[in-house]
Amino acid sequence: MIHSLSRRAFLKTATVAAIATTLPLTLQATTRAQTPATATRNATFYRFKLGTFQLITFSDGILNAPAAAFAGNVTPEQLQAVLRQGYQSEMLTPDCNILYVDTGSNKVLIDSGSGILNGETVGKLVSNLALAGLSPADIDTLIITHAHGDHIGGLTDASGKLVFPNARYHISNTEWSFWTAPTVNLPNFKGGEELKQGFVTVAKQQLGAVKDRVTRFEMNQEIIPGITAIATPGHTPGHVALKITSGDASIIHVADVVHTHTINLWNPSWQPIFDADPEQAAATRQSFLTQIAGDRALMFAYHFPFPGIGHLIPRAAGGFDWEPVQWQFEV
């Protein structure tokens, strides 16, 4: 994913207009400053334990996107049936859940949220860190699952400065090489030229901002002790999921292997238009989710309802149901 999109813009163009990413950053920053702050917000972080690791889900806020953007290869009638069953409307508000891991040796953030990209409903990470008593300067390790704006927009502030001044930035070698190449080819992308160019522009800009502090990792490599990269290509070529392990406990961060807990989880073959290669992404989604369900593994999903932690239950008709975990109240 993904961008915040008005339904009108979506219907008008029949593909998704990349409104957010194609605006100059300075213009968006100005717009933000002129908008009054929301009067009241819920505290949006959730602490939990994994072995000896202390974890926190931080909300970066919610995106706005038409449900049809997650189901590019099915009929409106098929989509309507799922939305009705899932108590959802034609406009979805996907969460952006950012996982913080304190391993005892490292203070890790996985992705950075949208920052000043994608409008007013996102970009809440830094203020939510403060609510939990953390400063961006505390973060020593920032792992990038993939180079889309809702995951790397928050690497920089409105002036282009790094938000996390003391972090090393870890990204897969495949993802880095893909987006920083002189020519970025996305021959199978179905989201339209404007969205494609928006993705490329944001990736080049944000990866460029951290280029002097980047460590590239290979697939299946342990990035830092306790966190291992898992190749999950399709959404982007170098997209990774992460396995986080402490003692006997583990959780699989699936990033954008699956975007919705209804449309794409019930129907892994339904294709979001945000995917670099929709066929490959669908194959990855089916096989990786099948493995997670088979292992009865604990799963973390970036775009599922906050705090994004749960298990998969295979459905009789294919696909999976999402079973959120109960909150830990004593951590």
Nearer CB in complex with Zn ion: 103/229: 229
175 counts as binding Zn ion under rule CB under 5 A: no
Q: Which stretch binds Zn ion (CB under 5 A): 43-51, 77-85, 143-151, 224-232?
A: 143-151
Residues 258 and 255: their CA atoms lie apart, in Å, by: 7
Shortest distance (Å) from residue 303 CB to Zn ion? 6
Shortest distance (Å) from residue 1 CB to Zn ion? 3
Nearer CB in complex with Zn ion: 63/309: 63
Q: Kindly identify the residues of this chain, within the stretch 246-265, that bind Zn ion according to CB under 5 A.
A: 256
Strands 309-314 and 299-300: antiparallel
CA angle (113 as vertex; 112, 114 as ends), nearest 5: 125
Shortest distance (Å) from residue 179 CB to Zn ion? 15
Give residue number: closest CB to Zn ion. 1
Residues 214 and 208: their CA atoms lie apart, in Å, by: 10
Shortest distance (Å) from residue 302 CB to Zn ion? 6
- The one-letter code for the residue type at 7 is R
Shortest distance (Å) from residue 60 CB to Zn ion? 10
275 counts as binding Zn ion under rule CB under 5 A: no
Residues 143 and 145: their CA atoms lie apart, in Å, by: 6
DSSP state of 219: T
Using CA atoms of 135, 136, 140, 145 in order, give the dihedral in degrees to the nearest 10.
130
Nearer CB in complex with Zn ion: 256/277: 256
Q: List, in sequence order, the alpha helices (H) in 166-306.
A: 173-180, 193-209, 263-266, 278-295
Nearer CB in complex with Zn ion: 1/195: 1
Rg (CA), the chain: 18
Q: Count of CB atoms within 10 A of residue 81's CB?
A: 12
Nearer CB in complex with Zn ion: 227/255: 255
Shortest distance (Å) from residue 211 CB to Zn ion? 22
Shortest distance (Å) from residue 284 CB to Zn ion? 15
Nearer CB in complex with Zn ion: 98/229: 98
Q: Kindly identify the residues of this chain, within the stretch 146-165, that bind Zn ion according to CB under 5 A.
A: 150
Nearer CB in complex with Zn ion: 226/276: 276
Nearer CB in complex with Zn ion: 55/63: 63
Q: In sequence order, what E strands does the chain have?
A: 45-50, 53-62, 65-66, 91-92, 95-102, 107-110, 141-143, 168-172, 214-217, 222-224, 227-231, 240-246, 249-253, 299-300, 309-314, 320-324
Shortest distance (Å) from residue 96 CB to Zn ion? 7
1 counts as binding Zn ion under rule CB under 5 A: yes
Number of residues that bind Zn ion (CB under 5 A): 4
Residues 248 and 253: their CA atoms lie apart, in Å, by: 17
Cβ contacts of residue 243 below 8 Å, gap of 6+? 227, 228, 230, 250, 251, 252, 253
Q: Which stretch binds Zn ion (CB under 5 A): 30-38, 43-51, 142-150, 293-301?
A: 142-150
- What residue ranges bind Zn ion (CB under 5 A)? 1-2, 150, 256
